[in-house]
Structure 1
């Protein structure tokens, strides 16, 4: 009798151990759904959500046994949030990634794609600004917004209807690029990187003295806009839907404009134009692996040809420039293969201090 009882208890214990093992695996694999895919969770910048949600992308990861699940947050938020529940962090800027890498003592990161900052505008605006010396030809077959001359105009509070010879857009509002909220958005932080560089005599802001020097002028570029939205999707959608009257110039990621051209959905009309800022800043989408599976996601994004081609179709410039070149050529997108006049953003700490100082003026 005792022997039977012992055997019975042993069987119960064995089944309990098996149940625990199976249950434990459920956190990493979709075994309950019968897929056998390892689930990898990450937090990303919102501008990459469409890419990660695309079925072609999920299928490409599945070929490598992965199911990638993501939450979205701003790059500043990602750099300061609790990342304990994630296996990778994928902000939209290198300063935020460097902060995470340093704080987490991560030795290696992946930068699978990037996108320069640009200005979505309209042909009448381009012609008007070119006539006033604010838009000029770039190093290649593209046009640029001269930030130094733009700053001169903005600091004076010049309105559109005060520009000489302006019959195309005599609006009674200041000549300003529409940005996102600098308190929330990475694209606004990249814009701050650009304008602070020029305001600092074409040098990256790196000292408290330089910060104090540039703050009054660069703050005005944000404050004078009034209400700003939290994501670049907001001003870009206004640009697409409401037109020149609402948003004559919108700061965007180049990838947003290229993505719409590749879709060929009619949202980019004939009078719409893409300008690059001179100088510009590349928003470098840098994946910081927090666990081995997160590192695998980063390596695949950086090296897998299928994922690279898909990233290019979403307008991102990939590690292999041929992928982006093929996509823009097929879409007849008027974008240059390379941008010479590009600068680096300030360090994360400097950028945070600048952004916090701007925030206090709201």
Structure 2
């Protein structure tokens, strides 16, 4: 009897080992064997979107497993080895245009975009409104007017404790928006594009002479900050957790703020406000396909209603404006349906020259 039990137990254990081997082989998991893996490199602010299980499932319905690595938009355009990727998805159109030209790609996709904005607090917004640098926008929102801001605040190098009647935030530091490192991050590069446009007489900087003329003024926006982080998540998280004391104004993507409002997790408090810059720039998330499967990812992100709706829940403005409008309406998010005071950035080469000149001064 003992011998029979031992033999039976051995058979059961053997079957268990076989089952583990069969089910544990890569690619043989139920429901994934027939999926095609597509690899891409993306801007870091889209990483949460691609890793969300709902997005994973939506791609799987179309036979794809999309795997992504993240990098800065400047890095994607200049230093990332693209040989192992089937699509690139930077956060800026200039970086995408550089890749498109270098790789001789004729088709690109812009499935969603997000304007640059400033996360701040009501006492700060009210203080700057008295200074004449914050005003009401074309709709039911407020803007940081970059022209008066450069002229009244940045050029004379004013500190917070030098603002008239300032009892809300009398800090002994310059009145500067906290950005990321312009040498590495797209959001800071977009801020440079905005400021250089205004400093250039409300015209896009298009040649070396114009760049050299505006650089002494706009470089102050970055050099006076001290240490800066390389991802927009950094200053935004400081804004959310450390509050006004550390980060009175943080340059972010609108999508980051809307994403938190949609989550309704309490991270956006009653005294927090979102300002837009005047003018602003839409950070156009542009996908450049490097293969047929990469092209399929671009098509799906642009045309699939489910993926569009999910992108809107992450705060992105999609090709169908109704999706974003529905999401912000349900979340009661105080964001405008459209921003009319928007400009285009300089060419990739012009922007790079300005960024390189600023980098030399660090």
* TM value normalised by structure 1: 0.91
Listed as ranges, the gaps of 5+ residues in structure 1 are 1-29
Measured against aligned partners, the alpha-carbon deviations of 1:152-188 in whole angstroms (never above 9, x if no partner) come to 1111110111111211111111100000000110000
Residue in structure 2 matched with residue 307 of structure 1 by the alignment = 307
SS at match of 2:203: coil
The Cα of 1:32 is off from its aligned counterpart by 4.0
Measured against aligned partners, the alpha-carbon deviations of 1:124-169 in whole angstroms (never above 9, x if no partner) come to 0011111111100000000000001111111111011111121111
CA distance, structure 2, for counterparts of residue 279 and residue 226 of structure 1: 25
CA distance, structure 1, for counterparts of residue 178 and residue 131 of structure 2: 20
Residue in structure 2 matched with residue 146 of structure 1 by the alignment = 145
Residue in structure 2 matched with residue 290 of structure 1 by the alignment = 290
Residue in structure 2 matched with residue 216 of structure 1 by the alignment = 216
CA distance, structure 1, for counterparts of residue 179 and residue 50 of structure 2: 25
Greater CA deviation, 150-159 or 293-302? 150-159
Q: Decide which of 40, 46, 49 is 1:48's aligned counterpart.
A: 46
Q: Decide which of 70, 94, 101 is 1:72's aligned counterpart.
A: 70
SS at match of 1:84: helix
Q: What does 1:1-362 align with in structure 2 at a 5 Å threshold?
A: 31-33=27-29, 35=32, 36-80=34-78, 81-152=80-151, 153-362=153-362
SS at match of 2:275: strand
CA distance, structure 1, for counterparts of residue 135 and residue 198 of structure 2: 17
CA distance, structure 2, for counterparts of residue 360 and residue 116 of structure 1: 28
Measured against aligned partners, the alpha-carbon deviations of 1:76-121 in whole angstroms (never above 9, x if no partner) come to 0001122110000000000000000000000010000000000000
Greater CA deviation, 254-263 or 75-84? 75-84
SS at match of 2:251: strand
CA distance, structure 2, for counterparts of residue 150 and residue 313 of structure 1: 33
> How many pairs does the alignment contain?
333
Listed as ranges, the gaps of 5+ residues in structure 2 are 1-25
The Cα of 1:226 is off from its aligned counterpart by 0.4
SS at match of 2:83: coil
CA distance, structure 1, for counterparts of residue 49 and residue 266 of structure 2: 20
Measured against aligned partners, the alpha-carbon deviations of 1:327-351 in whole angstroms (never above 9, x if no partner) come to 0000000000000000000000001
CA distance, structure 1, for counterparts of residue 325 and residue 74 of structure 2: 31
CA distance, structure 2, for counterparts of residue 40 and residue 248 of structure 1: 41
CA distance, structure 2, for counterparts of residue 120 and residue 31 of structure 1: 44
* TM value normalised by structure 2: 0.91
SS at match of 2:274: strand
